[in-house]
Structure 1
Amino acid sequence: MIHLYAFCGKTWYYYFDMGIVDGKRIRPEFSATAEGAHTKAEAILRRKILEYENAGTVFKPQEITLQDFLSFWMEEYVDLKLEPNTYYNYESTIKNHILPHLGKFKVKSLTPHVLQQFINLKTRECYARQTLSIIIGILSKALNYAVYPFKYIKENPMHYVELIKDKSRKPTREDLKIQSKENLRRINSVLNEDHPFYLPFHIGLHCGLCVGEVCGVEWKHINFEEMTLEIEQQLVGIKDENRNVHWQPRPPKSKAGYRTIPFGNALTEILKRAKKRQLENRLKCGEFYKKDPEHDYVCKKENGEHYTPSVIKYNTRKVKYQF
């Protein structure tokens, strides 16, 4: 970004905002003084803009490292346009995977060969394909931003990088952690209705939901007459500036995430008993019952506090250790 402004009436300054380099915001400044200074400054400004756009030789924005550019991109693009949870996932991936290998590279030095070698290295380190896809996605989006609107590079080198096809054997049921009917019976046998994992387990089992969706289900989403459950949100952990997690409902990431799921008589009876038990707990706890004025979640503790994915995952591990 380019600015032109006056100082003391006779001296005209202009500067370029180059963003962040080595952790500092760079704004080179030039001036013109004497009669006709404003006209001279404008002429200099036009010339410098032309030099900058044609060759990048004035302020050399191409000297910026990937580490500095990703920091700038996260601040100016990801933080403003994407969900907070996506921001923190990107931040973690950049810190743990991208910067240790590529952070010191200048953006202009990131050739398809360099980037392909990096992705191949991560592939050999046996990272999950989902992790590799996230890394590729971050680099592709960030370097698109470097092409336009910033014009740090003329072409995105990630366009020529590919994820090598996995030639290993197809995953087995054990690899995919698909539970057998016998295992599901064993899990159910150790859960009574007072167990904190009982209700989330049955909602997830009967409706095929992920843990965030289970936690996001409210009573208004359940139609007992039609025996259907509406998926309209999921509970997501949002980190504040102090890295503390706050669980908040968020809409599904895609249209396909919104769906109506039918369920049978078994889950109907489980839900009805759970609703009755929650009403009894509210009367028993009185003023100490934690009633949420905005959300009436289905999965709650005895005191009314809603379950979070962290709580459910903790109880999942406890059940696992029993076997």
Structure 2
Amino acid sequence: MAEVNTRKRGSKWEYRFEIASVGGKRKQKSKGGFRTKKEALEAGTKALNDYNQGGINNILDTNMSFSDFIDYWFENYAKLNYKYNTLQQYSGHISNHIKPQLGVYRIQSITPVVLQEFINGLFLKGLSKSHTTGIKSTVSKILDYAVFPMQYLRYNPCKATITPKFESSDSIRYIISHKDFKRILERFPEGNVFHVPLMLGFHCGLRISESYALTWDDVDFVNKTISINKIIYKRYKELGDYSKSLGWYIGTTKTSSSNRTLYIDDVLLNTLKKEKIRQNENRIFYGEYYTNQYISLDKDERNRDIKSIVEMKSNAHTDLEKINFISVKENGLLSTVESFKYCARVIKHELKINFNHHSLRHTHATMLNENNINPKAIQSRLGHSRMDMTDKYTHDTDILNKEAAKAFEKVIGGRDK
């Protein structure tokens, strides 16, 4: 069994002990710089114990900066386990907030006090609740990895911090009334490039990335269903750098529960039928100048195949697989999530309606809840993996409030008889 030996080198003391041999050759671990033999022996005994208990990780890189550990975590864990959009979000948190404030600390010097001051600073800068909690969550995930499997830390100090209390208005989600949605459709009527994405959000509660990824193959006009099985998203040359785009890609849905088939009402069905006829007419009108979309295989951070969207004129010759998106412009060019930003600005500033596309998803869920639809059915329709997520999408409205009052009155009336 290995034992700790000490020796004096100059004016300082050093400890040394044997570790596992490699290729039949004996290996030792040593560290110097101790003022006394006693200090060296105590440190060596602890290091040997850590080595025997959990491997050598605990005694390696004791001076590693948090910045260097973040890079290690990002390359060896994050890129292997998170989707591209999540990596983009984490990269922004790291480069804009975490590294500038915490990167210079040794990883073992990251204490709850240091982290609490960091989180308080985000709050005082005026960052939103969602942004602040998102950054805190990123820090916590990195430190979780430092605890296990790396064993650099014995516990995650972020777990002992408290998020400051934000004003409730920070988390307001707007519900679109029937009257306001009618005004929106009058501004963006049938034939407008934004009409179908608006209808899909209101009638089905789709995420915007799901709406723009729908193809005509996903629509079953006979059985009145649409299948949600993919998203579109934008990739960039460098994570966290939005200045150099690589274009649009087809990705997997947010979770496995997001893959779903939804029944649609006749209003939406007729809208889709008219849009398909309109696109066929435009294809004939533009002829060789009409633009088609195709799928080209590329590689991602994990060296896996990913699907890039390539656009070509109708007269181009290619062996690439063609894909027929529902949301395209008059001349066939792809309409995207970024295109919808113009629509949202018009609704907010011209129509004076508090709006974003996600508010249509909240509206859809709330309308179903108002009409006493089974919560499990709402969860399935939204593609949520957990019911607590669906609960966040069903909002208290005047209709629900009045129904609650009527129900209570009925209960009280029954008791008084």
User: Is the structural similarity TM-score above 0.5?
Assistant: yes
Counterpart-to-counterpart distance in 1, 2:106 and 2:173: 40
1:131 is matched with which residue?
131
In structure 2, the CA distance between the partners of 1:234 and 1:73, relative to structure 1 (3 Å rule), is same
Alpha carbons 1:197, 1:316 under 8 Å: kept: no
1:257 and 2:258 aligned = yes
Counterpart-to-counterpart distance in 2, 1:199 and 1:57: 55
1:159 is matched with which residue?
159
2:98 is matched with which residue?
98
Q: Aligned to 1:61, what secondary structure does the other structure show? A: coil
2:69 is matched with which residue?
69
Q: Aligned to 2:323, what secondary structure does the other structure show? A: coil
Counterpart-to-counterpart distance in 2, 1:43 and 1:244: 52
Report how far residue 318 of structure 1 moved.
3.3
1:228 is matched with which residue?
225
2:346 is matched with which residue?
318
Counterpart-to-counterpart distance in 2, 1:57 and 1:203: 52
Report how far residue 70 of structure 1 moved.
1.1
1:217 and 2:214 aligned = yes
Report how far residue 116 of structure 1 moved.
2.4
1:177 and 2:174 aligned = yes
In structure 2, the CA distance between the partners of 1:111 and 1:285, relative to structure 1 (3 Å rule), is same
68-77 vs 129-138, which deviates more? 129-138
2:190 is matched with which residue?
193
Report how far residue 214 of structure 1 moved.
0.8
Counterpart-to-counterpart distance in 2, 1:71 and 1:161: 23
1:309 and 2:292 aligned = no
Supply the RMSD in Å over aligned alpha carbons. Answer: 3.1
- Deviations for 1:162-220, whole angstroms, at most 9, x for unmatched residues? 43565x44779xx4232222221211112232322122112222111221111011112
1:246 is matched with which residue?
247
- Deviations for 1:80-132, whole angstroms, at most 9, x for unmatched residues? 32222221111011122212321212111101222123223323444333323
Counterpart-to-counterpart distance in 1, 2:24 and 2:170: 66
In structure 2, the CA distance between the partners of 1:53 and 1:124, relative to structure 1 (3 Å rule), is farther
Report how far residue 284 of structure 1 moved.
2.0
Counterpart-to-counterpart distance in 2, 1:78 and 1:272: 43
Report how far residue 289 of structure 1 moved.
2.0
Report how far residue 58 of structure 1 moved.
11
Alpha carbons 1:203, 1:209 under 8 Å: kept: yes
| Matched letter for residue 178 of structure 1 | I
Higher strand proportion, which one? 2
In structure 2, the CA distance between the partners of 1:58 and 1:74, relative to structure 1 (3 Å rule), is closer
In structure 2, the CA distance between the partners of 1:182 and 1:171, relative to structure 1 (3 Å rule), is farther
Aligned residue runs from structure 1 range 271-310, under 5 A: 271-292=272-293, 293-310=321-338
Counterpart-to-counterpart distance in 1, 2:269 and 2:249: 26
Counterpart-to-counterpart distance in 2, 1:87 and 1:262: 33
Alpha carbons 1:146, 1:152 under 8 Å: kept: yes
Q: Aligned to 1:44, what secondary structure does the other structure show? A: strand
Counterpart-to-counterpart distance in 1, 2:202 and 2:66: 44
Report how far residue 303 of structure 1 moved.
2.0
Alpha carbons 1:62, 1:153 under 8 Å: kept: no
In structure 2, the CA distance between the partners of 1:58 and 1:283, relative to structure 1 (3 Å rule), is closer
Alpha carbons 1:63, 1:106 under 8 Å: kept: yes
Alpha carbons 1:228, 1:263 under 8 Å: kept: yes
2:385 is matched with which residue?
none
In structure 2, the CA distance between the partners of 1:264 and 1:57, relative to structure 1 (3 Å rule), is closer
Higher relative CO (Cα under 8 Å, sequence separation at least 6) belongs to 2
Report how far residue 274 of structure 1 moved.
0.4
Counterpart-to-counterpart distance in 2, 1:224 and 1:162: 52
Counterpart-to-counterpart distance in 1, 2:245 and 2:216: 28
1:116 is matched with which residue?
116
1:43 and 2:26 aligned = yes
Alpha carbons 1:240, 1:246 under 8 Å: kept: no
Alpha carbons 2:291, 2:332 under 8 Å: kept: yes
95-104 vs 59-68, which deviates more? 59-68
% identical aligned pairs: 29
